[in-house]
Amino acid sequence: MIGRKEGIVKKLTAGVAGLFKANKVRSYHGHGKLLAGKKVEITLHDSNESEILEAKYVILASGSLPIAIPNVEYDGEYIVDSAGALEFDEAPARLGVIGAGVIGLELGSVWQRLGSDVTLLEALPDFLPVADKDIARAAAREFKKQGLTPRLGTLVKSAEVGDGKAKKREVLVTVEDKDGESQLTFDRLLVAVGRYASTGGLLADDSGVALTDRGQIQVDDNSHTTADGVWAIGDCVRGPMLAHKASEEGIAVAEIIAGLAAHIHFDTVPWVIYTDPEIAWVGKTEQELTAEGVDFKAGSFPFAATGRGLALGNANGMVKVLADAETDKILGVHIVGPSASELIAECVVAMEFHGSAEDLARIVHAHPTLSEAVHEAALNLDGRAIHRVN
Active site residues: 367
Q: What's the chain's length in residues?
A: 390
| SS3 call for 354 | coil
The residue type at 368:
P
CA 314, 370, 321, 336 dihedral sign is positive
Angle at Cα 376 formed by Cα 373 and Cα 379, nearest 5°? 155
- Taking alpha carbons only, the member of 258, 199, 201 closest to residue 225 is 199
Q: Residue 375 to residues 128, 254, 328, 360: CA-CA distances in angstroms?
A: 26, 37, 15, 6
- Taking alpha carbons only, the member of 297, 259, 302 closest to residue 382 is 297
- Taking alpha carbons only, the member of 191, 118, 128, 200 closest to residue 158 is 191
Cβ atoms 355, 375 nearer than 8 A:
no
Q: How far apart are CA 152 and CA 156, in angstroms?
A: 11
| SS3 call for 183 | strand
- Taking alpha carbons only, the member of 298, 318, 269, 260 closest to residue 378 is 298
Cβ atoms 121, 150 nearer than 8 A:
yes
| SS3 call for 173 | strand
Instruction: Tell me the backbone φ, ψ of residue 257, rounded to 5 degrees.
Output: -60, -35
| SS3 call for 95 | strand
